[in-house]
Amino acid sequence: MTNSSDPELIASDIDLIEGIYAATTQEGSLKEAARTFLSLQGDIGGAIFHFDSIAETPSGFEVFTSPPDMESVAQELFDNYSHEFGSLDNPLITAGLKDLMAGKVLISDDVMPYEEFQKTDYYKTVIHPLGIRRSMGWVVAGNAQLWLTFTSSRDELAGKYQPQHLARAQLFQRHMARAIHILELLTDSEGNRLVFEQAIERVPQAIVLVDDTLNIHFLNASAKALISSTNSLSGNSNRFLFGETAHERATFEKWWSILTTAQVGDGARFNPSRINPIWEIEVSRVSSRGAGATQGRRWMLSLKRSPDNGVLPVDYLMSRYALTRAEAKVCIALCNNGDAVSVANAMCITANTVRSHLKNIFKKTGFKSQVELAVNLIRTEQ
Among 235, 240, 269, residue whose Cα is nearest residue 255: 269
Look up the CATH number of the domain holding residue 40. Answer: 3.30.450.40
Residue 104: CB partners within 8 Å, gap ≥ 6? 96, 138
Boundary of a domain, candidates 305, 327, 359:
305
> Which CATH number does the domain housing residue 371 bear?
1.10.10.10
User: Percent of the chain at pLDDT above 70?
Assistant: 71
pLDDT at residue 136 above 90? yes
Whether 200 is in a domain gets the answer no
pTM of the prediction? 0.49
Please calculate the CA angle 303-33-152 and round it to the nearest 5 degrees: 105
Mean pLDDT of 107-117: 94
pLDDT tens figures, 165-224: 999 998 888 888 777 767 665 544 443 345 566 666 666 678 888 888 898 888 888 888
What does the alpha-carbon distance between residue 229 and residue 2 come to, in Å, rounded to a whole number? 24
Whole-Å CA distances, 130 to 43, 154, 212, 258: 12, 10, 45, 45
- Same domain (yes/no): 17, 148: yes
**Domain ends where: 238, 271, 305?**
305
Q: Are strands 146-154 and 134-142 parallel, antiparallel or unpaired?
A: antiparallel
Q: How far apart are the first and last CA of the chain?
A: 33
Sign of CA dihedral 160, 179, 17, 222: negative
pLDDT band at 129 (very low <50, low <70, confident <90, very high): very high
Q: By residue range, what is the domain housing residue 14? A: 10-187
Q: Are residues 59 and 179 in the same domain?
A: yes
Residues 271-327: tens digit of each pLDDT? 665 555 666 787 877 754 433 444 457 788 888 765 544 445 677 788 888 999 999
Whether residues 250 and 329 fall in one domain: no
| CA pair distance 329, 316, nearest whole angstrom | 11
C-alpha–C-alpha distance, residues 186 and 241, integer Å: 30
